[in-house]
Structure 1
Amino acid sequence: MDPLGSIKEVFIVIVLILMNGLLAMLEMALVSARKSRLEQLADEGSSKAAYILKLAQEPTEFLSTVQIGITLVGIGTGVYSGAMLAAPLEGLLREISVLRPYAGVVSYTFVVALVTYLSLILGELIPKKMALNNPEKVAMSFAGFIKVIITAFKPLTVFLSVSTRFLLKALGLKPSDEPPVTEEEVRVLLEQGRLHGVFNVGEQKMIENVFELDDLRVSEIMTPRTKITWLDVNDPLYKHLEVIAEKQYSCYVVAEEDLEHVLGVVYTKRFLADVLGATGASMRSSVQQPLYVPEGMYTQKLLDMFKDTRIKVALVMDEFGGLAGMVTLRDIIEHLVGDLPSYDEEFKQEIVEREDGSWLVDGLLPISEFKDFLDLDELPLEEKTGFNTVAGFVVTNIGHIPTAGNYFLWNGYRFEVVDMDGTRIDKILVEKLPEAEAAETDAKDQ
């Protein structure tokens, strides 16, 4: 057996494995490269970044080239290692009397196992890990090599591409219409960015709130009818001014006698300007028409309507045509960025943590904010009944208009009504049960 020949054969196999690793690394680098980073580098004048960006936007040709290369290298590695390395090893094993009958099988099995191991480590895992650490830099470093292999394999990639399209058409299969990036993938990237310090929690939450606009109904962010401050058009001017001075809102619902007869809305600035600057101006003459929208409308659509019409207020109507609540542009903004303080407004906490660890919750707290606070995806009967506040959640689960002291247990929590405002729940005490008691409660619910 020629020692130099064996070393040469081993060297060739290792080179083939490393070639496989290079192709795998380039494939991973291109797939993982951030297009935003490549665009930035291309704008700064990097021709390599511009070329890699073009490939990333239309990766089919490059990925086909890589797959062809990996396949050919894999075939070459398998054939060469089996033919050229197993034979010398078999000769060595035949000199051992115990192994002589099995020398062929043992040598071939050992060579295959060793080459497979090296292919996984040097040809897949390590190169891909290197690519993931800095995909843009790796891809740009080998931009010239990528151009060469794409050109070299172009006839073969064209032939395979035509063959693939023909077979797909023959089988009646069409290209997927799935978007290149899904909302869930963006959420995962946001979470990863937060964990690595790219985003803070507030930025992540704000972007996620933007995604919710398409799924959030206006009834979930509206000011409910019971909390609307309204002006009676028949009241004298001084009463209107008293309410405006006390509440200091930017707009008010205007009705005649009650909220069953809504006339529209009045904007405080416009009304005061009319009163101070025009003789004989009245509340009725200052009324303007808001948008009228159904409870089931999604918030994103309402936001688009606000932008198109330049109207900043919408009255939400129930299925019977009655007033259900009011939504302003400010309500949508507050859903995105959190509560915004008004001028001279006293801060009011809707969830107050007590010394014993329980929470005192305002009954009119939107259910979406309550779920975020407890980190819950869904509450019982939410889909069926469509309640929008914590008070609605409590009434649904108790089954009747409660009185102070009524409570129920769910999911390891105790919900107790502690204060009523007439028939409306004003405050709820939420207490997390001890683990043993919570487990017993869950067992009873099953």
Structure 2
Amino acid sequence: MLSQLLIIALLIAGAAFFSVAEISMAAARRLRLRRLADDGDTRAERVIAVQNAPGHYFTVVQIGLNMVAILGGIVGEGALTPHFAALLGYAMPAERAQTFGFALSFLIITSLFIVLADLVPRRLGMNDPERLAMRTVGPMSVLTALLKPLVWIFNGLSDALSRLLGLPQQRDDRVTHHDILALTEAGAQGGAVASHEQQAIENIFELDTRTVESAMTTRERVVWLSMDDEEALLRNRVAEAPHSTYLVCGEGIDEVLGYIDATDLFQRMLLGQPIGLRACSDAGLVKKVLIVPDRLTLAEMLTQFRSAHEDFAVIVNEYSLVVGVITLNDVMSTVMGSMVSSHDEEQIVRRDDGSFLADGSTPVPDLQRALGIDEWPQAGQYDTLAGFLMVMLRRIPKRTDRVVWQGWRFEVMDVDRYRVDQVMVTRVTQAGPGEGLAP
């Protein structure tokens, strides 16, 4: 009996080895393995090679696990059943004792294999997959070479059946931005990545979907200077609205002539030189401005800034009317979010009662993140909260207008000359059919 128990222990150890080899190879992270391989660890290179073509490796694992399980059942039945039957024979007839002895032997052997050869090894393999994968890849390579004929037969049958069923022959190892976001979110939940860092990474991937209108300074907020403004008016306007760059126009904002840096104006003031824009233009201080269409994404805007060596641009619509201006700092603030924005600059603020007070110019992605709304009606037709309200109402919003969507009520609190200024967002019961709008 002692020798049989020793054989059972060896079979459990063998099954545990195959379980660790399987789960650690499947769970080993390629990026971490690549870093180890770059540091000179050849075992990491071998693990990556197996992950690129795992067919033979997992075939050997399955052969080993099934062989060990079958042998364990045979040896376990022969080792324990007679002893259990003899003990139970004192309390019941011999035939029934033999049956219960076999059942008890089967239950104990199965339990030992489940716990010691499956659950515990798999948990170990999940907790430290790279290290265990590198330790087991060597012995598994030897077994793969020894069992090559069997591996070839089973792999051929498996490949033929996969092709017959239309299953993919190789796994897709492409890393998408969804994978990266999932990793950073898991890192944020585990404490390895700060929440604002995770948010910045998410914002970077939004650059390809967010348009320049979501980050621009809108037309009515643009401080512009006219070429014919007198010096006193220029001084007052610069003093009242200090900016690093000013748009220079003709008779109206849609007649864009260029832009001028505030530092050039200040320098002329300190030197006692005239700051009239015509004099500045003659001195070459009024520069040609970059003009871009309003349908550009923020990623495309960055490309335009880099190509033109500029950090300031005017945004126009399809009718060549100015809709706003944007700077490089606006784009970077969109990426960095709360890391560079003060509390006073937040466009959506959570109140103590769980509701939100949002600016009408709040970009839809920011609303989506704050409210947890994944689907928006007629997506792509608007970029901001105000645009969402206009599309839903089919008119210019006014005070007390309400829209209910995905369990949230959007109520217009303030409108300034047709511009939606403040919106109260409150959680309500999910709206049913026909309840999207509320008068």
Superposition TM-score, scaled by structure 2 size: 0.78
Superposed counterparts of 1:13-162, under 5 Å: 13-38=8-33, 49-56=41-48, 58-60=50-52, 64-79=56-71, 81-82=73-74, 85=77, 89=81, 100=95, 114-142=108-136, 144-146=138-140, 148-149=142-143, 152-153=146-147
Match of 1:367 in 2: 364
Match of 2:373 in 1: 376
Q: Aligned equivalents of 1:276 and 1:57: distance in 2?
A: 68
Instruction: State the Cα distance separating 1:67 from its structure 2 match.
Output: 3.0
Change (3 A) 1:411 1:177: closer
Instruction: State the Cα distance separating 1:25 from its structure 2 match.
Output: 0.8
Instruction: State the Cα distance separating 1:312 from its structure 2 match.
Output: 1.6
Instruction: State the Cα distance separating 1:204 from its structure 2 match.
Output: 1.3
Contact 2:248 2:260 (8 Å CA) reproduced = yes
Contact 1:55 1:62 (8 Å CA) reproduced = no
Which stretch has the larger CA shift, 184-193 or 397-406? 397-406
Instruction: State the Cα distance separating 1:132 from its structure 2 match.
Output: 1.9
Change (3 A) 1:383 1:353: closer
Match of 1:393 in 2: 388
Instruction: State the Cα distance separating 1:22 from its structure 2 match.
Output: 1.0
Q: Aligned equivalents of 1:422 and 1:242: distance in 2?
A: 25
Matching of residue 220 in structure 1 with residue 248 in structure 2: no
Instruction: State the Cα distance separating 1:116 from its structure 2 match.
Output: 4.3
Contact 2:15 2:64 (8 Å CA) reproduced = no
Instruction: State the Cα distance separating 1:230 from its structure 2 match.
Output: 2.1
Instruction: State the Cα distance separating 1:323 from its structure 2 match.
Output: 2.7
Contact 2:400 2:412 (8 Å CA) reproduced = yes
Change (3 A) 1:83 1:220: same
Contact 1:93 1:99 (8 Å CA) reproduced = yes
Change (3 A) 1:318 1:116: farther
Instruction: State the Cα distance separating 1:332 from its structure 2 match.
Output: 1.5
Q: Aligned equivalents of 1:286 and 1:123: distance in 2?
A: 78
Q: Deviations over 1:370-397 (max 9, x none)?
A: 3333333344x3516x222222333333
Could you say what secondary structure the match of 1:125 adopts? helix
Any stretches of 5+ residues in structure 2 without a counterpart?
none
Change (3 A) 1:12 1:356: closer
Q: Deviations over 1:319-350 (max 9, x none)?
A: 334333322211121111126779xx994454
Q: Aligned equivalents of 2:251 and 2:361: distance in 1?
A: 25
Contact 2:34 2:44 (8 Å CA) reproduced = no
Amino acid corresponding to residue 337 of structure 1 in structure 2: M
Q: Aligned equivalents of 1:442 and 1:33: distance in 2?
A: 46
Amino acid corresponding to residue 391 of structure 1 in structure 2: A
Contact 1:39 1:50 (8 Å CA) reproduced = no
Could you say what secondary structure the match of 1:425 adopts? strand
Matching of residue 182 in structure 1 with residue 176 in structure 2: yes
Instruction: State the Cα distance separating 1:31 from its structure 2 match.
Output: 3.3
- Tell me the matched-pair count: 428
Q: Aligned equivalents of 1:149 and 1:302: distance in 2?
A: 56
Q: Aligned equivalents of 2:435 and 2:345: distance in 1?
A: 35
Match of 1:301 in 2: 300
Amino acid corresponding to residue 369 of structure 1 in structure 2: D
Change (3 A) 1:441 1:216: closer
Instruction: State the Cα distance separating 1:289 from its structure 2 match.
Output: 3.7
User: Taking every aligned residue pair, what percent have the same amino acid on both sides?
Assistant: 25
RMSD of Structure 2 on Structure 1 (CA): 4.2
Change (3 A) 1:417 1:167: closer
Matching of residue 244 in structure 1 with residue 273 in structure 2: no
Matching of residue 282 in structure 1 with residue 304 in structure 2: no
Matching of residue 416 in structure 1 with residue 414 in structure 2: no
Q: Aligned equivalents of 2:122 and 2:110: distance in 1?
A: 17
Change (3 A) 1:114 1:378: same
Amino acid corresponding to residue 386 of structure 2 in structure 1: A
Could you say what secondary structure the match of 1:427 adopts? strand
Instruction: State the Cα distance separating 1:91 from its structure 2 match.
Output: 10
Q: Aligned equivalents of 2:62 and 2:430: distance in 1?
A: 58
Q: Deviations over 1:8-52 (max 9, x none)?
A: 3343244223212112212322333345555555666xx6x4422
Instruction: State the Cα distance separating 1:62 from its structure 2 match.
Output: 6.0
Match of 2:7 in 1: 12
Match of 1:435 in 2: none
The equivalent position to 2:424 in structure 1, one of 429, 435, 440, is 429
